[in-house]
Copies of this chain bind each other. A is one copy, B any other.
């Protein structure tokens, strides 16, 4: 081996910002805010204010390698933190407000963050958590100076903080493997696990997303990420959009159909993405009002399987292509994207749509997929044989944050916990899940955690929780209880028992009393339960 003689400039998040400001400086960024008017600027403005924010963070004592936490919606201020913190060499921990108080506290303390920057409507939450946040030295409200209320916690105003700072920052050159973002996943039981994205992973992932055969954004696109910025960096769209020169539209927390439609129409959104729940609401809104999106061309849907009817409605009624994606926090998150191929097109439009609407996506450059049979061999790519889905590649987790063991095996394969098939066209179909988790509106609920808590309720012999189909949230938890002989337990008793012990949105949609089937090895047979109760919430 001899070394090449090309430049080895590191792939850094700051390079994306520098490019966008230089090549697409005038391209707009539009952001809704919490109780403030819509904000408008452009990539030049983003570069200027990200520099100001970086100076402000540095003034607060944030140094390279330090962690900073955001608890925020999809706004331009949050976007500025996406560039400011990693730009100066710090790590942005994007806390997930959907977690329980305990879990949020755990993640911030686990990250040992020094600064917490939060949106105004998280003020109560922050005031409640503040006494337990052992590492936070500075609280900053992402708000203008006038609107920063005292909130049970001493918080500076973001706008006041950055106001006097210089609009340029000499972004340091550093190792591209430096940590940039810390995203916790609560997908499985136990404490949330941190995935520490490197600059290299973020940049490569953003480039892969910008490939014409992936998201295919051009400078003419207007991109509105409805996936949360705190969820695996909103699928990398805050990086892919500037790389491609696309306009960015940020909807804050207004994910209802009317609010989204307003932005889609007013800003000429051509490309958006989010979990199915959002699009259920959006399609219902269109249906009710008879309105039609004008410029919208593509909706990327992921986080949960896309209902076939949703994809069909978007396409046939509104002429909008649906691109399914599959991925997870551990994959930055892009794994596969369901973009068409000539092999599919050759089957005819109906068959092609069917394939695209019922599969999670196809192999993308950079990510390797392996469906593994129980004996460890690779399953044939016949679209039939299912097995454990494993992934590897330059934007796949190697090890969780502050763990002593790698999450991937020696060959780099990370077990996703999903059961899947691959077909000869390279299309992936998720068929089942190894892990006992429920995905409600794109958020994970641990059925095992719920079971463990419910099992503590007096009179309960076995508590089993399964995810069952739900018209809005895709999947919601159903609690099946087998009581001790002679015990009299009512639904209200169980719910009252759970209420102080779980975050509100984990509350099972129903509690039913029935014998719980067990597998041969004495485990709860979730497959049988899911099948038996699958229509319980949908009728």
Contacts and interface: CB of A to CB of B under 8 A. Distances in A.
Contact of A398 (B5, B16, B215): B5
A533 interface: no
A412 B7 contact: yes
Given A23-B363, A212-B244, A217-B212, A6 B200 contact: yes
A218 B3 contact: no
A417 interface: no
A26 interface: yes
A364 B399 CA distance: 33
A4 interface: yes
A23 B178 contact: no
Contact of A394 (B2, B5, B8): B8
Interface stretch (A76-84, A339-347, A503-511, A521-529): A339-347
Interface in A202-253: 204, 207-208, 210-213, 215-220, 243-245, 247
Interface of A: 1-9, 11, 16, 18-19, 22-24, 26-27, 64-65, 89, 91, 174-175, 177-180, 195-201, 204, 207-208, 210-213, 215-220, 243-245, 247, 332, 339-343, 345, 362-366, 368, 392-401, 408, 412, 426
Given A6-B332, A210-B211, A244-B365, 19 more contacts: A2-B196, A3-B198, A4-B179, A5-B397, A5-B398, A5-B399, A5-B401, A6-B396, A6-B397, A7-B394, A23-B365, A23-B426, A204-B207, A210-B212, A213-B243, A216-B216, A220-B340, A220-B342, A220-B345
A207 B198 contact: no
A403 to B, nearest CB: 8
Q: Which of A4, A7, A24, A365 has the most CB of B within 10 A?
A: A4
A329 to B, nearest CB: 12
B5 A426 contact: no
Nearest to A381: B22
A22 B426 contact: yes
B218 A339 contact: yes
Contacts of A399: 5
A456 to B, nearest CB: 35
Given A211-B210, A341-B219, A197 B4 contact: yes
A394 B11 contact: yes
10 contacts: A1-B64, A5-B397, A6-B197, A6-B198, A6-B394, A6-B397, A7-B398, A9-B412, A23-B426, A218-B339
Contact of A393 (B3, B7, B204, B396): B7
A247 B343 CA distance: 12
A352 to B, nearest CB: 12
A2 B65 contact: yes
Given A11-B394, A426-B23, A2 B412 contact: no
Contacts of A210: 211-213, 365
